Amino acid sequence: MKFKELTDKIIGCAYTVYNGMGFGFLESVYEKFNRKSLLRLNMIVRQSVILLRIFL
């Protein structure tokens, strides 16, 4: 999948979730529903991944 198509799907899901729920929820609530929305599109999703950064 090309990056633009992938980006469009992710942003589209985020807008759909936000427009459906409205404002005022905790970030974790939006994160949970965004994950469910992306899974419905058969996308591989990992939630709250810890990234290791090393500065040299």
Residue with token string 């469009």: 8
pLDDT at 39: 95
Give the range of the structural domain holding residue 4, as residue numbers without chain letter. 1-56
pLDDT for position 56: 82
User: pLDDT for 33-54, tens place per residue?
Assistant: 999 999 999 999 988 889 898 9
Domain tally, the chain: 1
The CA–CA distances, whole Å, from 18 to 10, 24, 53 equal: 12, 10, 30
Can you tell me the distance from the alpha carbon of 43 to that of 17, in angstroms, rounded to the nearest whole number?
Answer: 16
Query: pLDDT for 8-17, tens place per residue?
Result: 999 999 999 9
Q: Average of pLDDT values for 13-39?
A: 94
**So what's the pLDDT on residue 1?**
62
In the prediction, which pLDDT does 48 show?
Answer: 85
